[in-house]
Amino acid sequence: MAFMSEVNTSFSHYMDDEYEKLFRRMNPPRVVIDNEASKNATVIRVDSANKQGILLEVVQVLTDLNLIITKAYISSDGGWFMDVFNVTDQHGNKVTDEAILDYIRKSLGPESCFPTMRSVGVKQSMEYTTIELMGTDRPGLLSEMSAVLTDHKCNIVSAEIWTHNTRAAAVMHVNDEETGSAINDPEKLTLVKELLCNVLCGGNRNRGAKTEVADEVTHTERRLHQMMFADRDYERADDHNNNNNTGFDEKQRPNVNVVHWSDKDYSVVTIRSKDRPKLLFDTVCTLTDMQYVVFHANIDAERPEAYQEYYIRHIDGSPVKSDAERQRVMQCLEAAIVRRASEDLKLELCTDDRVGLLSDVTRIFRENSLTVTRAEVTTKGGKAVNTFYVRGTSGCPVDSKTIESIRQTIGDSILKVKGIPSEPKPPVQDSPTRFLFSGLFKSKSFANFGLVKSYS
């Protein structure tokens, strides 16, 4: 019976894929790229047949190209999806590289073959094994995890590590030091998983730890959001942990609100926060994974502060129904934004790659009382290009003497500092969040016209 169920499921997925291909052939998407319509940005318009998750797929393509989305207008009522994005490169210039523009056309236009929602970003790899890790954050965690892998001759090809609310999540791509390919020895994988799980527990048996070897490699950043969401990292740690260990300025905490627009039966989500790269991706990713559909949206991130406004319903067609659900949406969106809104010191390392490099570098950090709050580890052409966000183990900023000592140990030309090390700041006093603007989209926002009603 189990076999027949699996066959039926596979057949159903096959039919879904065939139907989607047919639908796309009958309703091909259209991409228009205009470098004349805006003075400061490249304007990209995407029109296509509407389906669940299409907004995330488009935003993911633009974000993976490291483009900055400064404005966006989204409308997907009915069977058609219409998006307009104003984008720049990382230096604030229009996008003129024909290779990038051609990639956008092919990825989003008629030649594209968007995967269905169950397989967004999925690909098989014979070059490395993907290990997903979830556990309790603490000083020295990354050092201990990388040491376990090095001791068992596992080379870290790439990795991304996030921490939030005392929890840590990581997606690591590793290969066998001897073969240079994916690890195929099941006994070795089992042992490494057990050892990593022990490290991740960190004495916290209440929340526990998870170590999984993924059969399919998904989009790393989206997977990290999914892992932390499933781990309920959006539930605030106690005040003591928040004030001393997060390293996050409470004055910079995003303002998220959800109200009900009864006339149209939408829930209206508004978000004001400090702008940063990939902010839109993080927000849309979370709404999609919570199974909300975005029908309309206005995004403005041309200033240091970003304003986002979404008109949503659950996938079942209903708006946010209760105050408990409203609070959960607000908490999850805030967590999605804060996970990558690090105020910590940024360090960049570039040197020849070798087995054990990450273990050695993070051990030096640990010995100098630094904790890694976020990390991106990559290898390109035999070079290790790693980015670390660090702070003191007590949650305080890192002083310049400590950084200079670490750079002398690792090498001044190898480890670069992005930002200015400083002395610890006095504790932040609790105060109401204040915003420098509140009128963006004022003439366009239904909420500001008083047409939406607050939950009560």
Span 287-299, average pLDDT: 95
Cα distance between residue 160 and residue 123, in whole Å: 17
Q: How far apart are CA 300 and CA 298, in angstroms?
A: 7
β-strands 266-274, 305-314 pairing: antiparallel
Which pLDDT does position 253 carry in this prediction? 87
Mean pLDDT of the chain: 83
Arithmetic mean of pLDDT, 33-52 = 92
Q: What integer pLDDT is reported at residue 421 of this predicted model? A: 66
Q: pLDDT tens digits, residue range 241-261? A: 444 445 556 667 899 999 999
Q: Is residue 291 scored above 90 in pLDDT? A: yes
Question: Rounded to whole angstroms, what are the CA distances from 252 to 62, 270, 295, 342, 440?
Answer: 26, 16, 28, 10, 18
Assign 15 a pLDDT band (cuts: 50, 70, 90): low
Cβ count near 117 (within 10 Å): 14
State the chain's maximal CA–CA distance in angstroms.
Answer: 66
Write down the residue that tokens 């908490």 correspond to: 331
Three-state secondary-structure class, residue 304: coil
If one counts every other C-beta atom within 10 angstroms of the C-beta of residue 16, the result is 12
pLDDT at position 303 over 50? yes
pLDDT at 454: 44
In whole angstroms, give the CA distance from residue 54 to residue 41: 23
Residue 108 Cα distances to 83, 112, 176, 219, angstroms: 11, 6, 36, 17
> Using one digit for the tens of pLDDT, what is the confidence trace for 181-195?
999 899 999 999 999
Q: What is the pTM of this model?
A: 0.81
* Contact between residue 212 and residue 392 where contact means Cβ atoms under 8 Å apart: no
Phi and psi dihedrals of 435, rounded to 5? -120, 145
The two tokens of residue 431 are 């105060």
Residue 93 — φ and ψ, nearest 5°?
A: -100, 160
Q: Report the DSSP pairing between strands 345-352 and 305-314.
A: unpaired
Mean per-residue pLDDT, 294-306:
92
Residue 101 class from Cβ within 10 Å (0-12 exposed, 13-18 middle, 19+ buried)? middle
pLDDT digits (tens, 9 = 90+) for 108-147: 987 765 443 333 333 446 889 999 999 999 999 999 999 9
In 3D, which of 410, 412, 366, 418 has the Cα closest to residue 392? 366
Name beta bridge partners: 156: 174
Q: Which two tokens stand for residue 46?
A: 């995407």
Main-chain dihedrals φ then ψ at residue 439, nearest 5 degrees: -110, 5
pLDDT value, residue 371: 94
Alpha helices for 36-162 (secondary structure H): 54-64, 98-108, 141-151
Going 276 to 106 to 377 to 218, the CA torsion angle's sign is positive
Q: Tokens 């001044």 identify what position?
A: 412
pLDDT, one tens digit per residue, over 372-383 is 999 999 998 889
Non-local CB neighbours of 254 within 8 Å, separated by 6+ positions: 271, 272, 273, 274, 333, 334, 337, 338, 341
Contacts of 153 (CB under 8 A, 6+ apart): 176, 177, 178, 355
